[in-house]
């Protein structure tokens, strides 16, 4: 999120998140043989687990990047853990045959950083915003740049006020 307050909220339930992760899997289940998944933590962990299960991928690696430091504004990027070279080399290096999974592409800063690490990987997200969309090969739902997505792990059950009123 580039501004401190989103004008629009997009809450995603566990059921919807699971459906979207399975829809992403269907789009990725063509002729391509994926050697491994690299999930961008933390948001990519849950969809990567679903995609790995559905596609029968056993090698699941993480790249750990911190960008949202206060859950409101995207700050500077920090790579906390890179991708293991053995995983990069599985399909000939540079990420060929690797599927990168994240929950969301927002401004594209994280996607650009990971793409630099794995230039030949296929980058897939559940949700995409316009600024980051060109950096993603496959996604399910596009939302406006001023929308804040509330993921199921960020929410509890509580009253939601009406949009207008």
Catalytic one of 106, 116, 146, 154: 106
Q: Is 137 a catalytic residue?
A: no
Residues 6+ apart with CB under 8 A from 32: 97, 122
Q: Mind giving me the DSSP string for 16-72?
A: HHHHHHHHHHHHH-SS----EEEEEETTTHHHHHHHHHHHT---EEEEEEEEESSSS
Structure tokens that stand for 63 in this block: 């790249």
Q: Is 20 a catalytic residue?
A: no
Q: Is 102 a catalytic residue?
A: yes
Structure tokens that stand for 90 in this block: 């599985």
Contact 41, 62 (CB under 8 A): yes
Catalytic one of 15, 20, 70, 103: 103
The pairing of beta strand 98-105 with beta strand 74-81: unpaired
Catalytic one of 102, 116, 146, 154: 102
Active site residues: 102-103, 106
């Amino acid at each position: 999120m580039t501004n401190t307050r989103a004008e629009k909220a997009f809450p995603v339930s566990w059921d919807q998140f699971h459906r979207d992760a399975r829809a992403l899997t269907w789009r990725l289940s063509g002729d391509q043989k994926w050697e491994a998944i690299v999930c961008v933590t933390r948001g990519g962990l849950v969809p990567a687990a679903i995609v790995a299960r559905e596609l029968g991928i056993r090698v699941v690696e993480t790249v750990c990047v911190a960008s949202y430091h206060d859950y409101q504004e995207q700050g500077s990027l920090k790579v906390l853990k890179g991708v293991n070279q053995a995983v990069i080399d599985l399909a000939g290096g540079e990420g060929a045959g690797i599927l990168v999974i994240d929950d969301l592409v927002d401004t594209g800063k994280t996607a650009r950083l990971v793409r630099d690490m794995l230039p030949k990987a296929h980058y897939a997200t559940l949700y995409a915003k316009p600024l980051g969309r060109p950096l993603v090969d496959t996604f399910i739902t596009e939302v406006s740049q001023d929308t804040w997505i509330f993921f199921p792990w960020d929410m509890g059950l509580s009253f939601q006020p009406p949009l207008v009123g």
